[in-house]
Amino acid sequence: MNASGCDKLFPMNEKLPITGLTAAELADFVESHGEPRYRGRQIFKGMYQRRLRSFEEMTDLPKSFREKLDAIASPATVTVESKYVSEDGTRRFLMKTSDGLPVEAVFIPTEKRDTICFSSQSGCPLKCDFCLTAKLGLLRNLTPGEIVEQIVIVLNDVYGVDTETPHGTNLVAMGAGEPFLNFESLIKAINVMSEEQGLFIVPGRITVSTAGIVPKIHEFAKLEKRPNLAISLSAPTDELRDRLMPINRRWNIHELMNAAKVLERSLKRGERFTFEYVLLGGVNDSDDHANALADLLERYDLRRVKINLIPHNPAEQLDYFPSDELQVESFKLTLESRGVSAYVRRPRGRDIYAACGQLAAKEEPNLVKITSGARAA
Ligand code: SAH
């Protein structure tokens, strides 16, 4: 996007949101306003290396320039509405776009490393039967800037403004929305986040999850620099998957497996990809289902794959319940006995509606809420 294009998109009286611009695009922007290009790099560093959210704080810029910028551009558009902290340390951030739509991100600490789960859309258009986000419907696609800002907001809350991000912090595009229905913005956001002069979170530390938008998996497989991929499968047959994930009626398991095979062929040495499988008690969690899943992988000769088993996170509006603990174990062992790597993803932040499939912009007064600004214990 060049700056004159921006001017057309954003009328005179509205400030240009600049959080989704690369360092080079920011240089173009300042240049079009008669400033030297290096000022663009300074702003980029201010926004992403120091994670400042106002021009005022960027004191390496002349005051007059900061004031000028303030009149025409915005370095922060997403605001935090509320924050919920789970008993397991997970934090859910309910944010709002400048037009008032919900955006949710989750911080998940573990002993080894921290993970930030971010959203690609406000709401979600897919109607997965076991997912609470589906109940919101699609509100709209998020812009690259709105995607990047989620990460900045969470990092600032957890580690503090102007601090270094601990090495090894991972990102997962597993919040609200279907990332591959907002493909361009997602990839743009990942490019902005990976710049060395900024957040410097490289694609290798990012995992994107798709419900199976087949043409986009093919497009993704052609990308040179790309994140890791997870595909939500959750059923080994069309009959069952049609019911659980209606997107299967558009692209069925055969098309999905073919796309997965293309992706597998494009992996670099040592890389693998993931199938996610939500375990729904009595619905898709029997040993027969596990065997059918292993058969499916064999049929398409998929070897560089691991299965992430996600115990269902229940909610009042959902008609499913979690599998029996023993059955989770049995499902995993059945896969392993067939030579398939399987891991059980332990639920995090269930008590604050922060776990997989629970992001539905919930604002419950009885949840432990810590309003923005305050640090969690
Ligand atoms: N739309 C993308 C990104 C969302 S990721 C996708 O579907 O992959 C969210 C993950 O949580 C998906 O694997 C989804 O299948 C899973 N999920 C949805 N609802 C869930 C629930 N109630 N319990 C556990 N996992 C759920």
**In angstroms, what is the span from residue 178 Cα to ligand 1's centroid?**
10
* Per-residue confidence (pLDDT) for residue 359, from 0 to 100: 85
Rounded distance between C-alpha atoms, residue 106 and residue 119, angstroms: 9
Task: Scan for tokens 């992706």, then name that residue.
Answer: 263
Q: Whose CA is nearest to atom 9 of ligand 1?
A: 174
Q: Which of 367, 375, 364, 361 lies closest to 122 in space, CA to CA?
A: 361
Atom of ligand 1 nearest to the CA of 131: 19
Residue 147 Cβ contacting ligand 1 at under 6 Å: no
Rounded distance between C-alpha atoms, residue 32 and residue 353, angstroms: 45
Rounded distance between C-alpha atoms, residue 34 and residue 356, angstroms: 47
Residue 347 Cβ contacting ligand 1 at under 6 Å: no
The token duo for 88 is 């397991």
* Per-residue confidence (pLDDT) for residue 320, from 0 to 100: 96
Element (H, E) at 286: none
**In angstroms, what is the span from residue 61 Cα to ligand 1's centroid?**
43
**In angstroms, what is the span from residue 363 Cα to ligand 1's centroid?**
20
Mutate to test the pocket of ligand 1, among 209, 308, 309, 362 (most ligand atoms within 8 A of CB): 209
Find how far residue 200's CA is from the centre of its chain.
17
Q: Quick one: residue 361, left, alpha or beta (phi over 0 = left, psi -120 to 50 = alpha)?
A: left
* Per-residue confidence (pLDDT) for residue 371, from 0 to 100: 52
The token duo for 5 is 């294009």
Atom of ligand 1 nearest to the CA of 210: 8
Q: What are phi and psi of 116, to 5 degrees?
A: -115, 125
Mutate to test the pocket of ligand 1, among 104, 115, 121, 131 (most ligand atoms within 8 A of CB): 131
- What's the burial of 84, exposed, middle or buried (CB within 10 Å: 0-12/13-18/19+)? buried
* Per-residue confidence (pLDDT) for residue 366, from 0 to 100: 61
The overall average pLDDT reported for the chain is: 92
Contact 269, 236 (CB under 8 A): no
Rounded distance between C-alpha atoms, residue 54 and residue 38, angstroms: 18
**In angstroms, what is the span from residue 33 Cα to ligand 1's centroid?**
44
Which residues form the catalytic set? 104, 356
Q: Whose CA is nearest to atom 26 of ligand 1?
A: 357
* Per-residue confidence (pLDDT) for residue 191, from 0 to 100: 96
Mutate to test the pocket of ligand 1, among 220, 276, 283 (most ligand atoms within 8 A of CB): 276
The beta-carbon contacts of 371-376 under 8 Å, at least 24 apart in sequence, are 371/82, 371/83, 372/79, 372/80, 372/81, 372/82, 372/83, 372/157, 374/83, 375/157, 376/83, 376/85, 376/89, 376/91, 376/157
Mutate to test the pocket of ligand 1, among 129, 130, 141, 345 (most ligand atoms within 8 A of CB): 130
The token duo for 23 is 């360092």
Atom of ligand 1 nearest to the CA of 176: 4
> What pairing do the DSSP bridges indicate for beta strands 341-344 and 369-370?
unpaired
Q: Where are the beta strands (DSSP E) in 97-244?
A: 102-109, 114-117, 121-123, 138-141, 170-173, 206-210, 228-232
Q: Whose CA is nearest to atom 5 of ligand 1?
A: 174
Alpha helices in 267-376 (DSSP H): 287-299, 325-337
Give the residues of the chain that fall short of pLDDT 50: 1-11, 372-377
Residue 359 Cβ contacting ligand 1 at under 6 Å: no
**In angstroms, what is the span from residue 46 Cα to ligand 1's centroid?**
34
Contact 267, 273 (CB under 8 A): yes
* Per-residue confidence (pLDDT) for residue 374, from 0 to 100: 40
**In angstroms, what is the span from residue 155 Cα to ligand 1's centroid?**
23
* Per-residue confidence (pLDDT) for residue 352, from 0 to 100: 86
Atom of ligand 1 nearest to the CA of 124: 1
**In angstroms, what is the span from residue 232 Cα to ligand 1's centroid?**
7
Residue 232 Cβ contacting ligand 1 at under 6 Å: yes
Rounded distance between C-alpha atoms, residue 292 and residue 294, angstroms: 5
Q: What are phi and psi of 261, to 5 degrees?
A: -65, -40
Strand pairing partners for 140? 122
Residue 328 Cβ contacting ligand 1 at under 6 Å: no
